[in-house]
Amino acid sequence: MSDIRKAVLAYSGGLDTSVILKWLQDTYRCEVVTFTADLGQGEELEAARPKALKFGIAPENIYIEDLREEFVRDYVFPMFRANTVYEGEYLLGTSIARPLIAKRMIEIANLTGAEAVAHGATGKGNDQVRFELGAYALRPDIRIIAPWREWDLLSREKLLAYAERHDIPVEMKHRQGGSPYSMDANLLHISYEGRHLEDPAAEAEESMWRWTVSPEAAPDAAEYLDLEFEKGDLVAINGRRMPADALLALLNQLGGKHGIGRIDLVENRYVGMKSRGCYETPGGTILLPAHRAIESITLDREVAHLKDDLMPRYASLIYNGYWWSPERLALQTLIDHTQQSVNGWVRVKLYKGNVIVVGRDSKTDSLFDSTIATFEDDAGAYDQKDAGGFIKLNALRMRIAANLASRKR
């Protein structure tokens, strides 16, 4: 008999988590609280409610919550303040969603008196690490139930057979094999892994992509956007101010229309293996160069370079599940401090898979001084004679070394 009386399950209502719900009831003999988060995955999540009710979950123990604005405002945007990219390509769409889910699961566990949280991440992937590091950071005594590390239902066929035995409703797409890919979606991205993509030499099928047209099929006419930033965060598109989640949703729509945001990469998972995945991140792919563009005129050179030095470490912390760690929080404090002057607008051109920055300005915080930078007569704003001493002093160590080398010859 398990000493766990109640567990909070991250529940989508799909095949895996529906099997997990029943398995928890049978294996742990515990009361289950289901938590379904709307992060903008574009699915009808209320369908999870009748499925949970069917297996005896009390109505007050079914949590279906719209977290879209919090997700973009408090997780996606802070990450983009750092211009975060993992291994040069990945915009961390899956990674950044996990700390919010972990936080809300712990909050629900505290509200309902649950001793444990359960998730459907496999023992091969990064998500198990992200969920559990977050849970432990926020509640050190929490118990973790990870069925994929415990049960023997390690194939789709075994999951379907278990569902059949226990009268778990299975959608036709699962019976027929469903999508050939393992997919994860939220407002920042949609990811594809598995099956055909497990051969890194095989090109992804065009029919796989859900959010973006191919660059070849994108409109022949370019589209211009004016993006307004305040303290490093996007606040308006073409003069229209909207909540954070609405802004990202609009960027996704516009980027997808122009074939922007597809990547195909092999990444290094935290657990040690390499994994091939394809991602669609149209809004993020527009936001990243636009944010760098407004920083280019509002950030001091050495501050900008320091941010670039720190970014790979910050990206690895998010990818590996350390959002709630003291080092990530410390880095965030520094990053946010740098963004106080990152105010202004950027104009981008969207064209056939490309995001092209064509203009940027800040009325209040621009460090670009045209009277100094001009190629025309600067009326004495910059004394070019000063450059000689500057260069000679910076060459001093190399001159000393060269003199020493010549004496040794």
Cβ neighbors of 267 (< 8 A, separation 6 or more) are 86, 87, 90, 274, 275, 276, 277
pLDDT profile of the chain (409 residues), mean per 10: 90 92 96 97 90 94 98 98 98 98 98 98 94 98 97 88 88 56 93 93 96 98 98 98 98 98 97 96 98 98 98 98 98 98 98 98 97 92 94 97 95
Indicate which residue of 38, 68, 81, 98 is catalytic. 98
- Residue 136 is assigned to a ligand binding site: no
- Residue 86 is assigned to a ligand binding site: no
* Complete DSSP assignment for 114-160: -SEEE----TTSSHHHHHHHHHHHH-TT-EEE-GGGT-S--SHHHHH
98 is known as an active-site residue: yes
- Residue 4: Cβ within 10 Å count: 17
127 is known as an active-site residue: yes
Closest CA to 319 of 148, 85, 100: 85
| Spatial separation of the C-alpha atoms in residues 93 and 252, rounded to whole Å | 13
- Residue 405: Cβ within 10 Å count: 9
Q: What is the CATH number of domain 184-299+342-361?
A: 3.90.1260.10
- Residue 365 is assigned to a ligand binding site: no
C-alpha torsion 195→196→198→202, nearest 10: 180
Q: List residues bridging with 279 in a β-sheet.
A: 191, 263
| Domain boundaries defined on the chain | 6-67+95-178, 184-299+342-361, 370-408
Task: Quote the pLDDT of residue 249.
Answer: 98
Indicate which residue of 38, 127, 184, 233 is catalytic. 127
| Spatial separation of the C-alpha atoms in residues 248 and 240, rounded to whole Å | 13
182 is known as an active-site residue: yes
Task: Quote the pLDDT of residue 1.
Answer: 47
Q: Residue 112 carries which side chain, given as an amino acid letter?
A: T
Domain 6-67+95-178, CATH number (from 3.30.70.360, 3.30.930.10, 3.40.50.620, 3.30.200.20):
3.40.50.620
